Amino acid sequence: MSKWGRVRGHRGTSAVNNVNVRSMDNKRRLLVLYATDTGNAQDVAERIVREGERRHFATALHSTSSYEPNALPVEKNVIFVASTCGQGDPPPMMKNFWRFLLRKSLGEHWLEGTEYAVFGLGDSGYQKYNLVAKKLDRRLADLGAKQIVSRGLGDDQHRSGYEGALDPWLVNLWAALRERIPLPPGLADPGKDDLSSTKLDSPKFRVMYHHAPPVVKLQSLTIAASDALRAVQEDWTEHQRARVILETAAGETPRFIEPEGPGHCPDQAVIAKMVVNRRLTAEDHNQDVRHIEFDLGPDAVKYYPGDILTVIPWQNPEDVDAFLRRLSLDGDAYVTVEAAQSERLCSWNDPQLLQLDPVKVRTLVEGVLDVSSASPRRYFFEVMSNFATAEHEKERLQYFATSEGRDDLYQYNQRERRSVLEVLLDFPSVQIPLEWLLQLVPRLKPRSFSIASSERAHPNQAHLTVAVVEWTTPFKRKRHGLCSTWLSKLDPSQGEVHVPVWITKGSLKLPPPSVPLILVGPGTGCAPFRSFVEDRVVSSESGEVAPILFFFGCRKQEKDFLYKDFWHSCTENYKVMCPKSGGGLFVAFSRDQSEKVYVQHKIRENRELVWRLLQSGAAIFISGSANKMPAQVTSAFEEIISSEGGVSREASVRWLKQMELKGRFGVEAWS
C-alpha cells in the first residue's frame, strides 16, 4: 500500500444543486464512472457531470479505481466513459473493476434494474479501436442492464478529435434521459449551448495562503549525497507533496497500483544517476535518437525484460516564470488546497493527511501543472470567457465553447498543440484565479519508456532508447516533445545528472529460454527487444537457448541503424541470432532504394523460416509506432500462417488469437 493510503471518494453535486434535488426521486441520481489514461476520459466525465447538474440531476463522479463495483446494482442510471490503451487494453485504473465485471457468479440478472450508457475514447489508427468501450457495452448488457442510448465512440483521428462524436452523443443522451425521467414541475432544462443563461460553475478547489513556510522533513538518503543529488531529491519531494495536495483536494485515488517495493511507484522513486547520453543516429540525420544509461544505485531495483521505466519531466523554468508573470501569481507564496465543498467527500486510511503542509505556488506550477506542453481542453475556454474583460476575446472564447465553434477550436488548439501558456498569451485580458487554474490546467503526466537493457547483463543499470520528438504544425510552427527534449539536453559529461525514476510492468513478457522468438521492432521499437536479446545471451552462457529471428526497420543503413554492432554480434559464432542456430537478423532500409521496403516485406520474404519457427512453438512480439505498422505486420503473419499452413485466413486469425491468449503473441505500440 502506498504511504498515502487508498481513497474511496467522489466529487458530489454542488450545494445549489443539492437544494434542487433533495426532495426528488432517486431516479434523478446520475452516476458517472470514468477510466482514463491521459486525462481525456476524466475530462469527458466531468463535462457530463456539469451538464447533468445544469439539468437538475443529482450527480456523482468516480474513477473506476475509487468506486466499489459491487454497488452497481443499486444504481438506476450509470454513464461510463472509458479510454482504450495500446492494443485494446483498459487503462490501469480500470483493470480491477473490469476483472470484477467478468466474474461468472454475477449472472445475467445482476444489473437488471440499472440503465446505462457508454462513451469510449480511442484512435482508429489502432487495430483494436475503442475495444474497451465495445466490450464494456456488451458485458453490461449481458449482466441485464438496459441501454439508455447507443454507445458513442470518440476518435482521435476525427477532424475535431473525440468531441466530433461526443457532442451529438450527449445531445442524444440528454434527450433520452429527459424522455425517461421528466423534470419536476417548476424546473427548466437549459437550452443547447446556453452559456449566457448558465452562470459559471463553482470551482472544485479552495486555495488558502500562508505567511510562514512549512517545516518539511525530507527522507534521509541511504548514501552520502552530493549537492546535486540532494537538490534533485528536495525538488522531487516538494513536487510529490504538491501532487498529493491536489489529489487530496480532488478526492482522487493517488495510487491505484500496489508497489512491489522501492523503485516501483512514484512515492518510492529511485533517484537514478545518468551516466551515458549519446546520440545513436548520424549527426546529419533528421531524427535524433539517444541511448541513455542510468545507474540505479547500490540498492538494486529489480526489473525484467519487457518492463517500463517511467519519469516525470521537468518543465522549462522560463515557461514557469512566464506563466506566473502572465497571471500575476506570486511563485514564492505558500498555499494549501482543499475541496471547495464544506462536506467531507472522501474517507482516508490516514487522517493525518487532512493536515497537509503548505507548498509554494511555484512548486504547484512547475511540478503538477503542464503549462508548456499540454493543450487545454474545451472547458478551459468556457471558463476563460467568464474572466475576459475585452469584449472581442469574450466573444471568441464563448464561440469556442459551443458545438458550432468546435471545429475552429480544434484547428486553433489541438491541431496546433498550443500550450496553456500560449493560449493565455493569446487572450491577454483574461485573468483566471489560482483555484480555477488548479482545476483546469492539465496535469504534468509521467512518460514511460521500454527498458532497453537486461538487468542480468547490466546489474544496477537501466538503458533507454529515446527518440527526440519534433514536428511541424499545420501553420508551420516547430514543436518539441517536452520529456524527450529535456532528457536529450541532460549531459552527464558536464556534471552530475540525477533523475527520479520508477519501474512498472510492460505489456511484453520474455518467455522461457526454450521458446523461439520472432521479434519485430522497427525504429525505437527495438528497445524492449534489445532487453530480450541481451537476456537470452546471458542465458546462453550457461545452457541451450532457442533461436531468435529479429526484424528491424529504419530509413537508411548509414543514418539510423540503431545498435547495429550489437545486433550483428549476436548473429556470429552460433549466438542467439546466428543463422546456423536457426536464428537471423533481417533489416528493412526503407529509403536506401527507389521502392520503399518495410519490416512486413522482410517477414514475407522469409516466410519459410518464420513458419518453421512457428511450428516449433515460437512466440511473436511486435513493438513500435501504432500508426500502421502493427496491423500490417500482423497481416503478414496471418498471410504466412494461411499459405504455409494450408488454412483459411479466418483460421490464421484465430491461430494468432490463441497465441495471444497463451502469452505467445504481443504488441506494444504507441502514437
Judge whether 482 is annotated as a binding position. yes
Q: Are 619 and 664 in contact (CB under 8 A)?
A: yes
Q: Is 198 annotated as a binding residue?
A: no
47 is in an annotated binding site: no
658 is in an annotated binding site: no
Question: Is 483 known to sit in a ligand binding site?
Answer: yes
DSSP string, 527-587: HHHHHHHHHHHHHHTTS----EEEEEEES-TTT--TTHHHHHHTTSTT-TT-GGGT-EEEE
Please check if 524 is assigned to a binding site.
yes
Quote the DSSP letter at residue 595: S
* Residue keyed to cell 527487444: 529
Please return the burial class of 321, using the count of CB atoms within 10 Å of its CB with bins 0-12, 13-18 and 19+: middle
H helix count then E strand count, the chain:
20, 24
Determine which helix (DSSP H) or strand (DSSP E) holds 278, and give its type and residue range: strand 270-279
Residue 454 marked ligand-binding: no
Is 488 a known ligand-binding residue? no
DSSP H stretches of helix in 300-353? 317-326
In SS3 terms, 147-213 reads as ECCCCEEEECCCCCCCHHHHHHHHHHHHHHHHHHCCCCCCCCCCCCCCCCCCCCCCCCEEEEEECCC
Q: List, as own/partner pairs, every contact residues 605-611 make where C-beta atoms lie below 8 angstroms and the sequence separation is at least 24, other chains included.
A: 606/549, 607/640, 607/643, 607/644, 608/644, 609/549, 609/584, 610/518, 610/549, 610/637, 610/640, 611/640, 611/641, 611/644, 611/645
Is 265 annotated in a binding site? The answer is no
Q: How many residues does the chain have?
A: 671
Contact in structure between 81 and 45 (CB atoms under 8 Å): yes
* Cross-strand bridge partners of residue 584: 549
Cell of 621: 512480439
Q: Is 429 annotated as a binding residue?
A: no
Q: Is 226 annotated as a binding residue?
A: no
- In angstroms, rounded to a whole number, what is the distance separating the alpha carbons of residues 326 and 320? 10
Q: Is 294 marked as binding a ligand? A: no
529 burial level (CB within 10 Å; 0-12, 13-18, 19+): buried
Tell whether residue 570 is among the known ligand binding residues: no
CA–CA dist 111, 141 (Å, integer): 8
- Look at the block and give the residue holding cell 486510511: 349
Residue 470 grid coordinates: 519534433
CB 548 within 8 Å of CB 609: no
Is 372 flagged in the annotation as binding?
no
Rg from Cα positions in the chain: 26
Ligand-binding annotation for 646, yes or no, is no
Classify residue 190 as exposed, middle or buried by CB count within 10 Å of its CB (0-12, 13-18, 19+).
middle
Residue 596 labeled ligand binder? yes
Cell 483555484 belongs to residue = 435
86 is in an annotated binding site: yes
Q: List, in order, residues 6 or more apart from 524 with CB less than 8 Å away.
A: 289, 465, 466, 467, 562, 624
| 355 is known to lie in a ligand binding site | no
Q: Which residue has cell 514475407?
A: 604
What CA–CA distance (Å, rounded) separates 633 from 600? 5
How far is residue 61's CA from residue 522's CA, in Å, rounded to a whole number?
42
Query: Is 83 part of any known ligand binding site?
Result: yes
Binding residues: 83-86, 156, 417, 447-450, 481-484, 524, 590-591, 596-600, 670
Binding residues for NADP(+): 524, 590-591, 596-600
Binding residues for FAD: 417, 447-450, 481-484, 670
Binding residues for FMN: 83-86, 156
